[in-house]
Structure 1
C-alpha cells in the first residue's frame, strides 16, 4: 500500500508568485483550483499503483490500459484553508477491487503547534479500462502493517456503503416515512400558494437556476484526449459558489463536496452547459446558513440541440456567523421534492462526518 503514496507541496507561504495564482477576491484559496490538483493527484496515485517505477508519460500510454475517475464520494473541509502557509497534498490507494481502486486524499498545513493540521479529507474511486473500454484487472493491494489493514478495511466499507447508498437512492425506492413527513410539513408550512400574501423569503427550486455555457478547448485535455475531470470540477464548483452567493446574498465558505458522478467523458471541441439549482437550505447552531447545491453538466449537440448528461455534482456551502438564513428553497414538482430530500440526506451525512472528524480512521498516512 505504501508504494502508491504520493505527495505534493504548494509553497504558498514562501512564494508570492504562487500565492497570486491561487488567491481569490476574498484573499483566500481558490478551492476550485485545488480540486483540479486533487483529481490529478488521485490519477497519479492510481497509475503509480498500476505501474510502479514508471514515470514517463509515453510509457504510460504504451501499457494498453487507461484509468479514469468513476466518482468522487466526498471532500470534507475540516479547517480553514488560508494561503499564509505551505499546503501539502497527499494520497494513496487504500483498497482495490477487480478493476477499481479507492484513493484517499488529504490536504495538510503546519498548525500552531508545529504539527501538520488536516484541512481536508477526500475519497476518489478510479476504474481501469483497456482500449476496447472493457474492465481491466488492477494489481492486488499488499498490506504490511496493522494501520494499512485498517485503511483497507475502511476502503472496503466505503465501497460497500456506496453500493448500499445506490440501492437506497430515491430514484429506486420511495422516501422513508420520516422523509415523507418532513416533505409534507414543508408543503404545509411553505409550499402552498397565497396570491394575496406571497411569502417574500420563499424561492421555488426552479427559480434558483443559474447557467453557464462554454466551449471545451484542447488545452484542458487529459492523457486520453478528453476534457480533464478536475477542470470540470473547478467549473462546477465556481458556478455552485456563484449560485450560493446569489441565493444567500452574502459570502459563503465551502464546506464539502458531497458527491460527483462521471457518466460520460466530455469531448474536446464540444459545447458544455452547466446548470445549477439550490436543492436544500438549512440553519443549525453550528452554521446559521447551510446551502446544498446541485450542478449538472450536459454536452450539447449544436446541430440538433440534443443534450446528454456527463456529470452530476453536489456541493455544500455554509456561513458560520450572522443571523439564520431567512430565504429557503421549496420544490414545486415531485422530481424537485426528491432532489430536496437528497439534499437533506447530504446535509445530515455531512453533520455526522464532522462529528467524527476527531477520529484518525479517516487519515491518510505515509
Structure 2
C-alpha cells in the first residue's frame, strides 16, 4: 500500500528548494500524453492485505487497545490507504507493482469522501484479519472503491464490510441534505415533539422534566477539542497529511466524547460519512472538535443506547486566527450491556436542531443496514 510517501522529508524539502522561480506546480507535473483508455475488469484492481493478529503477538501488541480489543482508528488508516492503492492500480493497470515517484505519473488521486463503514459484528483480536477491495464504479473524474474487512477462518457471519453507496443513492442523499432543503414534515414533527418533552429543562441540563427518561444535556455542552501540530512523519505521497491519519485522530476523539457522555463502555457500530474539503498542509495547526449530535434508545435489546457523533477538522491560520474546515466526520457508537448513565442530547439552536436531524437520519440508515443483515 504505497500511499505513504516513499521519499524522505529532507529530500522533499530539497526538491522544493530547487524549483525554478515562478515555475508552477502544474507545469512541473506536466506529463506525456496518456495512453488510450483501456477497459478494466473489476478484478483487475483487486488488492488485499493480511494482518496476522492471531499468529503474531508482536503485531497484536501494536494494535491492541486498553480493553483488549483492536484499535479501530488504526484499521481506518489501512482502509484509506488500501482504497488509494486500489485507485492507483486501476489507473496504472494490474501489471504495475509499485507507484514510484508520483510526480512522474502526471496525475494525483485523493480521497473525496467515505460514505459508510458498518461493523456487522465485533472484531475478534485472536484471529487474522483480511482487508480487501476493488474499484466498483468509475465516472469522468472519480471512482468508487468498495473495501471489505473480514476475520479469516470464522466464516461469513464474522465479517465486517465497508460498502460505498450507489451514485444514485449518493445524489439523492445530497439533494435531501438539510443544508439545502428544509426537513420533511415528519422530521419537523419529531423535532418539535422532542423539544416539548426534553428541551425545556434549565440551562445546566439539570432537573429533567422527565426523570424516568434520564438526564438531558445541551448539545453545546458536549463539545470536546483537540489541537495538534501536523508533522511530516504523517504525510502522504502528495506531501500533505495522510487522510487515514486524520480518520484515526477523528475516530479516537469521537470515541472519547462518547465514553464521557455515556459514562460506560461503548462499541463502534459505523462510520456514517466523511467529507474531504481540502488537504491539510504539513506544519499546520489542526483543531479537531467533537460533539454529540443524536442519542436514542432503540427497540433492539442488544443496543441499550445509540450515540451519533460529529467531528470537525479545521486548519488554523496562526497569523489571522481564521479557520478553514478540511474534514467533517460522522460516527455511531452503542453503549454496551445496558451499563452507564441514560442521557439524551438536546439541541438549543436551529443549527444544532439540523445536526440532530442529520444524526437521526444516520441512525435510521444504520438500523436499516443491520436489519437487512439479520434477514
- Which TM-score applies when normalising by structure 2? 0.83
CA distance, structure 2, for counterparts of residue 269 and residue 65 of structure 1: 24
Asked if 2 retains the 8 angstrom alpha-carbon contact of 1:36 and 1:230, the reply is: yes
Q: Which residue of 1 aligns with 2:207?
A: 198
Distance 1:43 1:118, change over 3 A: farther
Please say which of residues 169-178 and 350-359 is displaced more in the overlay: 350-359
Contact 1:290 1:316 in 2 (8 A): yes
| Structure-to-structure mapping, 1:244-255, within 5 angstroms | 244-255=258-269
Superposition map of 1:1-366 within 5 A: 1-52=42-93, 53-112=95-154, 115=155, 117-123=157-163, 158-194=166-202, 198-199=207-208, 201-286=215-300, 287-322=303-338, 326-357=342-373
CA contact (8 A) 2:264 2:341 kept: no
Contact map agreement 1:72 1:123 (CA 8 A) in 2? no
State whether residues 299 and 310 of structure 1, in contact with CA within 8 Å, keep that contact through their aligned partners in structure 2. yes
Give the whole-Å Cα distance in 2 for the aligned partners of 1:117 and 1:179: 34
Q: Which range moved further: 350-359 or 99-108?
A: 350-359
Paired residues, number: 325
Secondary structure at the aligned position of 1:68 is classed as coil
Structure 2 unaligned spans of 5+: 1-41, 209-213
Contact 1:89 1:107 in 2 (8 A): yes
- CA-to-aligned-CA distance 1:43-77 (integer Å, 9 cap, x gap): 01000000112223325431100101100000000
Residues in 2 aligned to 1:314 and 1:39: alpha-carbon distance in whole angstroms: 16
SS at match of 2:183: coil
Paired with 1:118 and 1:190, the residues of 2 have a C-alpha distance of 39
Contact 1:283 1:325 in 2 (8 A): no
Deviations 1:201-239 (A, max 9, x none): 111000000000000000000000000000000000000
Q: Distance in 2 between matches of 1:273 and 1:98?
A: 34
Q: Distance in 2 between matches of 1:336 and 1:59?
A: 45
- 8 Å CA contact retained: 1:108, 1:120: yes
Deviation at 1:251, TM superposition (A): 1.3
Larger strand percent: 1
* CA displacement at 1:254 relative to structure 2: 0.3
Deviation at 1:82, TM superposition (A): 2.2
Cα offsets for 1:254-293 (capped at 9, x unmatched): 0000000000000000000000000000111321110000
For residues 29 and 47 of structure 1, what CA distance do their matches in structure 2 show? 28
* Alignment check: 8 A CA contact 2:124 2:151 kept: no
Q: Please state how far the C-alpha of 1:357 moved relative to its aligned partner.
A: 2.1
What is the alpha-carbon distance in structure 2 between the residues aligned to residue 59 and residue 45 of structure 1?
A: 17
Distance 1:58 1:323, change over 3 A: closer
Say if 1:283 and 1:324, in contact at 8 Å, map to a contact too: no
| Secondary structure of the corresponding residue to residue 54 of structure 2 | coil
**Whole-angstrom CA distance in 2 between matches of 1:228 and 1:256:** 21
Structure 1: give runs of 5+ residues left out of the alignment: 125-156, 360-366
Give the TM-score of the pair, scaled to structure 1: 0.85
In 1: Cα distance, 2:153 partner to 2:96 partner:
35
